[in-house]
Structure 1
Amino acid sequence: MQTQRSKGCPYFDHIIFFSNFSAVINKHIRMNKLVLALLTIGLLAGCGSKKNKSGKDDFTFEDFRHLFAEAKLPYKLMPEELANKKSDTAGISPEVLKQFLTDTLGKSDFPEGATVKFYPVAAVDGAAVNYFVVKAVGKSLTTAYICFLDKKGHYLNRLPAGKVADKSDVFYFSIDTRQVIKVTNERELEPGHRSTREDFFGVSDNGSTTLIMTNTSGDPGAGQLFNPIDTLKAAHKLSGDYVSGENSLVSVRDGDDPKSFLFFISFSNKTGCKGELSGTGHFTGANKGEYKDKETDCGIAFQFASGRVSIKEIGGCGAYRGVRCFFEGSYAKKKAK
């Protein structure tokens, strides 16, 4: 770059030189700022959602799973949690619901054209299938569905397992460590008198469900409480059925060896709080026994004396009962038939 020199003032030459030099520097600075801005835009675009061939944002199965709270077996969804209102920002969009589950999830429970919002509740890993609990909220009805997905994240089937329309008729469910689903329906027949129906389902590898058995109580004409270990051997002196009222039972049967025993506990108190637990206990003395759950910190102490058995929790068994009651009390032995 050449500049015209002044003949009269040498300082003027220096001023012209520095003026031209400054213009060049400013030009480079502006170019660098432009390059930096372009690089920043490119990096931000690279950090954003990936685009698929159709130009839409990709939403992966991992993204979908992260919408749900991680839970472990045993799992229980109580009516209080089902009735709890969720924020609109926590919902599952219809597009995501259709992509990973099905867009007909609430068709059988909500009228056509009704506004229904779906919310992720919990994801539970099973042995053959995984369980995704989804809550559906309409204007006057809230339901829950257990959606079965295979280990690769493919939707298989669903089971309606929860419903809250009003306080007189509620459905809720639990999944035990053996992956048996128990759906409970409580209905108020009259003030202070409720009927209870419990349906037990098994789930196959392809997501199909099979009704294993049904318990009913409180409804006139309904069958008695079903005891799943009723027909097992009861030769031990402490084996037998111990009862407290009409709807509470502690059933004890012979174990595989003299130091063990099988048991089934089911109770329902006056407030409607219920509990159910079965397993294998071990004798810790001549008239004492103990059970410890392998999956949770739940434990039960058994004390046998004079034709009775007393039970007491020695660990948190909230996964197998309501929140306002415990596995405790004294039960009288029934005479063998």
Structure 2
Amino acid sequence: MKRYLLLLLAIGVLAACKSKKKHGTGGEPMTFEDFQALFVPGALPYKLSPDSLTQKTADSLALDTADVHRFLTNTLTKGDFARNEKVKFFPLQRIAGNDMNYMTIKAVGRTQTAGYLCFLDKKGKYLNRLRIASTVSGDENVTYTTIDTRNVIKLSTEKQLTASRSALKEDFYTINKDGSVQLIMTNSNGPTTPGQIFNPIDTLPRKQKFSGDYTSGEMNIVSIRDGDDPKTFQFFITFSKDNGACKGELSGKGRYIAGNRGEYKDKESSCGISFQFSTGRVAIREIGGCGAYRGVKCFFEGGFVKKAEKKKVEKKKGK
């Protein structure tokens, strides 16, 4: 009988050791293969809703913080939670993308819950992360996300304005192969200041020949800024037609293909834009389908006039 009890005890100890090894809390360190196996396999398109964040998850399913730091990053929640706040991490899904793979993680703190999308290369190396969902105690504002089959990330933020009215802001991102995040378009039905446009590249250098802001009415702009070299440029286009019924927005990096012509081709779709520069003007037109970045009944096209750049007035010495 004693031998039987000792045998059962030994089996229990071995099982406990294996369990600890699987979760990386004891024994030999967890491998990356073990770590990713804790995430449910998923596929694109993918959606992370506020409901999936608020659902209670058993503490036994929590990831070991040391493993999160080792395989991903120790700055996952930096700037989102209090410095000394205890945060628990829970695995959600792992998704295979075109150029990289994704892991989604739920982080639960004292006053808020956040969802993070981590970008990893095909060998499992961590590249970057993006906060893609959040709920805050006592706050009716929520953030959630979807990723389509072209790997375009749509980050949606709902803000409660009144008891019966809310505002929705949608930010569209693409992820470069190095893990850097690029904002390509923003849609919003919230209140805005008339005549005011948020230009995400406004502060970038504008020393090249065609760099500057070209406008066609208050809410239509083609903004050109310097590229990494003389053959490239960065741009931001936004327009509103038919009294706001049809809108479009796009940003990216273009290339000069002749003395006064430029071209942009989206790596994730067939969208393309042609730029024809002349003295104080630029004309644009679509050379591919850009329906993902505009309304159905309007296009990226038309002529825009360059705005005069405000000159900085230097104060004379002694005055």
TM-score by length of 2: 0.55
Q: Of the candidates 83, 97, 101, which is equivalent to residue 54 of structure 2?
A: 83
Counterparts of 1:186 and 1:221 in 2: how far apart (Å)? 19
Q: CA deviation at 1:95?
A: 1.1
Deviations 1:47-67, CA, capped at 9 Å, x for gaps: 9588xxxx9512111111111
Distance across 1 between alignment mates of 2:28 and 2:131: 31
Q: Deviations along 1:160-203, whole A, 9 cap, x unmatched?
A: 11111145210001100000111001001111111111111110
Give the equivalent residue in structure 1 for 2:185. 213
Separation in 1 of the partners of 2:71 and 2:110? 25
**Matched residue, 1:330:** none
Residues 1:189 and 2:161 are matched in the alignment: yes
1:174 aligns with 2:114: no
Q: Partner amino acid for 1:219?
A: P
For this pair of structures, how many residues does the alignment match?
Answer: 210
Cα displacement (A) at 1:89: 0.7
- 1:65 maps to a residue whose letter is Q
1:120 Cα shift? 0.6
Report the 3-state secondary structure (helix = DSSP H, G, I; strand = E; otherwise coil) of the residue aligned with 1:205: coil
Task: Report the 3-state secondary structure (helix = DSSP H, G, I; strand = E; otherwise coil) of the residue aligned with 1:81.
Answer: helix
CA distance in 2, matches of 1:98, 1:220: 40
Shift of 1:86: 0.9
Aligned-residue offset at 1:220: 4.0
**Matching of residues 118-197 of structure 1 within 5 Å:** 118-165=89-136, 166=138, 168-197=140-169
Q: Which residues of structure 2 form unaligned runs of 5+?
A: 198-241, 248-288, 303-319
- Residue 108 in 1 paired to residue 79 in 2? yes
1:108 is displaced (CA, Å) by 1.1
Q: Give 1:148's aligned amino acid.
A: F
| Structure 1 segments unaligned to the other structure (5+ residues) | 1-32, 225-242, 250-261, 267-275, 279-332
Q: Is the CA contact (8 Å cut-off) linking 1:194 and 1:219 kept in structure 2?
A: no
Structure 2 equivalent of residue 18 of structure 1? none
In structure 1, how many angstroms separate the alpha carbons of the residues matched to 2:56 and 2:33? 25
Per-residue CA deviations over 1:112-136 (Å, capped at 9, x if unaligned) read 1111111111111001111100111
- Given that 2:246 and 2:295 are in contact with CA atoms closer than 8 Å, whether structure 1 keeps it comes out as no
Runs of 4+ residues deviating >6 angstroms: 246-249
> Does the 8 A contact of 1:196 with 1:219 survive in 2?
no
Are residues 139 and 221 of structure 1, via their aligned partners in 2, closer, same or farther at CA, if it must alter by over 3 Å? same
For residues 214-229 of structure 1, what are the structure 2 equivalents within 5 Å? 214-221=186-193
User: Partners in 1 of 2:86 and 2:295 — Cα distance?
Assistant: 39
Confirm or deny that 1:67 pairs with 2:38: yes
DSSP-derived class of the 2:161 partner: strand
After TM superposition, list the pairs within 5 Å mapping 1:1-337 onto structure 2: 48=18, 56-165=27-136, 166=138, 168-221=140-193
Tell me the amino acid that sits aligned with residue 182 of structure 1.
Answer: K
Q: Distance in 2 between matches of 1:152 and 1:170?
A: 33
Which amino acid is the alignment partner of residue 171 of structure 1? T
Code of the residue aligned with 2:122 in structure 1: it is K
Cα offset, 1:85, TM superposition: 1.6
RMSD between aligned residues:
4.1
Counterpart position of 2:203:
none
Q: What letter is aligned with 1:202?
A: T
Relative to 1, partners in 2 of residues 1:139 and 1:56: Cα closer, same or farther, differing over 3 Å? Answer: same
